[in-house]
Amino acid sequence: MKQLENKVSIVTGAAAGIGKATALLLAKEGAKVVVSDIAEDEGKKVVNDIENNGGKALFVKADTSRPKDHEKLVQKTVHEFGQLDIAINNAGIGGPQEPVGEYPVDGWDNVIGINLSGVFYGMNQQIPAMLDSGGGSIINMASILGSVGTPGAAGYVAAKHGVVGLTKGASLEYAAQNIRINAIGPGYIYTNLVNEETMGKEGIKSLEKLHPMGRLGEAEEVAQLVLWLASDQSSFVTGSYYPVDGGYLAQ
């Protein structure tokens, strides 16, 4: 039997990168997947990929920084599939690259709105639906920068630290009600945004050197950790933060 048979999941930011890899893996393991993103064409391609491999999926266009979009997303999920068991709050952006004294206020608001408030808005709607379903698992995508800093990315670092704190606080509130809430901290992952075309060979090499394993991670490697946290294999795990970073944080 597949690990997520008869489960229903939401994945935000699922049109590409870690979100796409996660959506495809959850579907492969039997979950019905609601693919959510602002990129409609790419999101619908992920749905087609899932359905062409025998899975069930639905695309819902949603902006994670808007509370009403999360409300619509959860409502459509429950209407279509009858329940909600798994939620992956993955959508995020990098934001401006400036020191704090020069960091644009609108850039700060945008990064916090998507990367932190978006996770809160998601859980705010997902948790009541999961309680109706008898419990569930929420995985929030933080970052290695959820526990350390880096120059020029104050908004991103603050938001990802906030995601870790939000995860821990919420996990305590719902641990006795069969909802597990955990966070993942990816290192630099090779995606459509981080690759030789976007950053150049030297840019990628400089990032690779930051990781003791000497390479970037793959989106599928992060998705495997998401799968474990979403499944009953991690039934006694909640309130935790799991780096998947090639040794970055061990330094």
Catalytic residues: 156
What is residue 31's three-state secondary structure? coil
Alpha carbon distance 13, 35 (integer Å): 8
Residue 137: enclosing H or E segment and its boundaries? strand 136-141
Alpha carbon distance 155, 143 (integer Å): 13
String of DSSP letters for 82-130: S---EEEE--------B-GGG--HHHHHHHHIIIIIHHHHHHHHHHHHH
Alpha carbon distance 203, 209 (integer Å): 10
Helices 219-230 and 17-28: crossing angle in degrees, nearest 10, is 50
To the nearest 10°, report the CA torsion of 69, 70, 76, 79: -140
